[in-house]
Amino acid sequence: MKVIMARKAGFCMGVRRAVQLAIKASYEAEKPVYTYGPLIHNEQALKLLEMLGVRALKEIPRKGQGTIIIRAHGVPPQDKKRLKEAGFKVIDGTCPRVSRVQALARRYSREGYHVIIVGDPDHAEVKGILGYAGERGIVVSNFRDLESLPPLEKYVILSQTTQDEEFFKLLSEEILSRYPGGKVYNTICNATHDRQKEVRNLCRICDAIVVVGGKHSANTKRLAMIAREEGQDVFLVETAAELDLEKIRKYRQVGVTAGASTPNWVINQVIRTLEELPSPYESVWLRWGRKILRFLVESNLALAFGAALFSIALLLATDLPLYPPLILIPALFLFAAHTVNRLVDLKSLRLNDPFRAQFLEKNRRLFSLATFLAYALVLFLSWQMTPAAWVVMGFLSLGSILYSLPLFGRGEHFSPVQRLPGARSLFIALGWWAVLVFLPALVFEYRPVWGWLGLIVFIVAFARAVFLELLELQGDGFVGKETLPVFIGPQNTLRVLKILWVGLGLAILGGLLKGDLPHESSFLFLAFFYNYFVLRQYEKELLGKNFYLELLAEGLPVVTALCLLAGTGVKRLVARG
């Protein structure tokens, strides 16, 4: 089935900030750690926070201890004061945009204005804003409420940040027509505006709309309401399990959007379920082609193929014989190292890629056996070459296993090495470099070309690993995995990837100018431009396009290998001519 994902969906800035504060507090703050009320309106995210030891506190006790986090919706100022007086260390997780509305309510109420808040009187955010407005606060949720307004002279109109923009405009105009002279502040969050605009755009091109989010989330329910007003069939679900697949099957094209408190992995699972749904409008060949590609990627066979192809390209580029062990060892070792890491780390994989986690769990014995045999073959083949090669591969194999195991780790999660920010990508890149460059240079004589090719291999492998970590950012954050994107944030990670891209270009140029790389290696600049294309795709934040983006990242070593092969082919044609 064809699925179109809204360009703006999932965690907004305020929700993301609150969740990150809660995750950080679960590891660093004084225990126990609570949130005052549910941190956000999403049951799946709240259950994960409970697993980290962060529980919701419904009432403020007279005496308390530990840390309490104020939820993204905010609270009345008197509640914040009571929490501190009870003895809690308070972390304010209020969304900055909600804080702005609170500040406006406090300012104008102190200046003698009535503060009219357009919103749901039972919503936590509105209750918090009312606390700052005091006795001068009035909540208006519909046109009927206007009949009970007191005579207004000095007044200001504010909005709940998740309110429907068109409704706010109509209601404000009606109030101004009855009581001229009021001030109006459109305090609807930009994220809310963008999501509502995007769902209207989806309604124009799709046959039905699936809205993913908590049943108690105001902005999620509003997205569903807007889609219905546009005349679309709407399916509001919290998880993929709630999809009515029989009803959805009849549509040609389905749009998917999500509330501001919906985690990425929940959205991705819904999209994956819809894409796998057989549709009478989709080609059987296209559906099976996607299934085969997914199998190759999820089983790490695509990665093994890329490693073998890269090895062949490097051997040919350096005029070395196609020695079978040097082609098989990179494929087998990288397959085993990546697979064992996935099998051990199923906890975070269930969030980042639940379908892959199910696939590996279902075939765990098969993949465990395949991993064992791959390591055994690596050691056997390396022993057939030289004792030094056997020692190197033995060290690498043992290191890759120890890295994956949570020996001496904090709690039951990860090893101390995995706690080092960026360590995963660094070790992956070193592994690729060791089997593709160091091992052939050890078996045969070292040549200056290996230095430049080694740098290119390291950059490509590191970039590939970091790109994939960006896709797993949210799930890794929830389980406390300190990858580079979790540690420095997605925007800074993209800057690192841009530096790597420039570094790749300089490595190619430097090798060519120095003469260590043959001039036919200029084909590598195609890999340089492909890297830039991948970077641009990731900058678009294509939520729901995980498989597409993963294929692009997995293509980095393949495209680089093909560029090397193209250069070698040209070199041999010139030599024959």
pLDDT tens, position by position, 120-160: 998 889 999 999 999 999 999 989 999 888 888 899 999 99
Distance of CA 24 to the CA centre of its chain: 18
- As a whole number, mean pLDDT of residues 230-251 equals 90
Please give the pLDDT value at position 174.
92
Percent of the chain at pLDDT > 70 equals 96
Please give the pLDDT value at position 148.
87
- As a whole number, mean pLDDT of residues 338-342 equals 90
- The CATH architecture annotation of domain 191-280 reads 3-Layer(aba) Sandwich (3.40)
Please give the pLDDT value at position 472.
84
User: Mapping DSSP to helix (H, G, I), strand (E, B) and coil, where does residue 172 land?
Assistant: helix
The active-site residue, picked from 28, 59, 125, 469, is 125
Please determine, for residue 408, whether its predicted confidence score (pLDDT) is greater than 70. Answer: no
User: Mapping DSSP to helix (H, G, I), strand (E, B) and coil, where does residue 528 land?
Assistant: helix
Please give the pLDDT value at position 179.
92
Please give the pLDDT value at position 413.
52
- pLDDT of 449-462, one tens digit each? 888 999 999 999 99
Are 160 and 117 contacting, i.e. CB atoms less than 8 angstroms apart?
A: yes
Please give the pLDDT value at position 314.
93
pTM of the shown model = 0.82
- As a whole number, mean pLDDT of residues 389-414 equals 75
Please give the pLDDT value at position 486.
80
- pLDDT of 499-550, one tens digit each? 999 999 999 999 999 888 888 889 999 999 999 999 999 988 667 788 889 9
44-48, 91-95, 348-352, 392-396: least confident range: 348-352
Pull the structure tokens for residue 33: 């750690």
pLDDT band at residue 338, thresholds of 50, 70 and 90?
Answer: very high
Q: Do domains 11-94 and 98-188 have the same CATH topology?
A: no
Please give the pLDDT value at position 51.
80
For the chain, the structural domain boundaries read 11-94, 98-188, 191-280, 291-576
Please give the pLDDT value at position 286.
81
- As a whole number, mean pLDDT of residues 476-503 equals 84
In the sheet with 137-140, reading across from the earlier edge strand, the strands are: 137-140, 114-118, 155-159, 183-184
Percent of the chain at pLDDT > 90 equals 49
Task: State the Cα–Cα distance between residues 507 and 513, nearest whole angstrom.
Answer: 10
Please determine, for residue 331, whether its predicted confidence score (pLDDT) is greater than 80. Answer: yes
Please determine, for residue 78, whether its predicted confidence score (pLDDT) is greater than 80. Answer: yes
More confident residue, 449 or 105: 105
pLDDT band at residue 333, thresholds of 50, 70 and 90?
Answer: very high
- pLDDT of 271-296, one tens digit each? 988 888 877 777 778 878 888 998 99
Are 295 and 547 contacting, i.e. CB atoms less than 8 angstroms apart?
A: no
The reply to whether 125 belongs to the active site is yes
Please give the pLDDT value at position 52.
80
Please determine, for residue 320, whether its predicted confidence score (pLDDT) is greater than 90. Answer: no
Please give the pLDDT value at position 175.
93
Kindly report the CATH number that applies to the domain delimited by 11-94.
Answer: 3.40.50.11270
Topology of the domain covering 98-188: Cobalt-precorrin-4 Transmethylase; domain 1 (3.40.1010)
- pLDDT of 22-60, one tens digit each? 888 887 888 899 999 888 878 888 888 888 888 888 888
Please give the pLDDT value at position 419.
60
The per-residue pLDDT of the chain, averaged, comes to 88
Q: What is the DSSP code (8-state) at residue 436?
A: I
Task: State the Cα–Cα distance between residues 55 and 152, nearest whole angstrom.
Answer: 43
More confident residue, 335 or 476: 335
Task: State the Cα–Cα distance between residues 276 and 72, nearest whole angstrom.
Answer: 35
Please give the pLDDT value at position 409.
45
Candidates 373, 356, 348; CA nearest to 296 is: 356
Are 208 and 248 contacting, i.e. CB atoms less than 8 angstroms apart?
A: yes
Task: State the Cα–Cα distance between residues 135 and 260, nearest whole angstrom.
Answer: 31
Cis link prior to 96 (omega < 30° from 0)?
A: no
